[in-house]
Chains A and B, each alone.
Chain A
Amino acid sequence: MSSSISAAATTTLVLEGSEQGFATTRFEDVLNWARKYSLFQYPFVTACCAMEFMALASPRFDMARFGAEAPRFSPRQSDLLWVVGTISQRQAPVLKTVYDQMADPKYVLAFGTCASSGGFYDNYTTLAGIDKIVPVDVYVPGCPPRPESVIDGLLMLQDKIARGDRTAGVVKPRFDPVQLRRKA
């Protein structure tokens, strides 16, 4: 095999067939690679979405495959805040405190429609989306979302971490009705 250099990612160079066999990359990339596969999660679980969260954590869907295995019930030890369910105005200060206690870098995933936007609760008592008080990295819509779409959200978050992208992203439905109609 002849010695060649191929660009795997924009920043990673792999030298193949060389005598030494080494790779160059940037420190940030290695760090992000480590971060994305070791997300310690803090489950802030308040409502019916918890059922899907349990399914997600159990062997059938097996969140542990993606390195997001260990739930930490101390915000100080966790990287990823799962907000699973409706947040009322009365709970909002608690959520804010939990978020503030997490150490950087920290990520937030809004699990389900209620956490993302308040859902069908448009009233005096419900917080209309947790992004009103904490920044959200990934929104997973659904009432509740299927575990597959939450896994999509987790993978999207991992990609965002790898790319150093902190803009918010939304998980699309698996079968986008609009796209299906366009194809037909």
Chain B
Amino acid sequence: MKTELVVECRDLTKNFSGVKALDCVDLQLGRGKIIGLLGPNGSGKTTLIKILNGLLEPTFGEVLIDGEHPGVHTKSVISYLPDKTYFADWMKVNDIFDMFGDFYKDFDREKAEMMCASMGIGLKDKLKTMSKGTKEKVQLILVMSRRAQLYLLDEPIAGVDPAARDYILTTIINNYNEEGTVVISTHLISDIERILDEVVFIKNGVIVRHEAVDDIKEKEGKSIDDVFKDTFRMVPFMGVNGYDR
């Protein structure tokens, strides 16, 4: 039986040699949603995602994915887009598809091949000959071709131009498994706020807000981008000459 929540974190804490990257995070994410994990650089977004998919062990606290602790089952239901590509240069698109087909039961190869065709990527193309942007597209195709319960996308639009951003976002919203949940971490909010159901604001390892996007807009009459800027506003150092003396 499926649990109601796809992600449940209790008291989740992660220390890196004494520095708290996550501090007592309680987080519950439902199914069938697109959720933005939003925070400035260094706020703990990647750490949280890596704990959810089992790449990092929490120092303290508990995570349940699809009702279970990170392990074999949770890896089979999570589709993860890392912030860096990790495939060997000599591989061809076909080789990677073979690998994914072996690893993941829910990998839909036919869909992956169709997505490649629509993006003009040949199945025999070598990664070595691809631009950075094309490599990222291949990676996205792999991630979105799985019928996962939880998609964890770490900065999927960070390194690309605005036209490619739209393309990537459209690919995400048209291809995810609708019973699953998509978590997108980013600091580029104005580009993605329209596709989000909920946002999670993270600041210095603490979840400071978790709410439905339309509720926030209704209450505050502001875009998520503006609310984000208000939440994370930093006081710039004015320099010696900036102060009244």
Instruction: Please say whether chains A and B are actual partners in one complex.
Output: no
Binding site for A on B (CB under 8 A): none
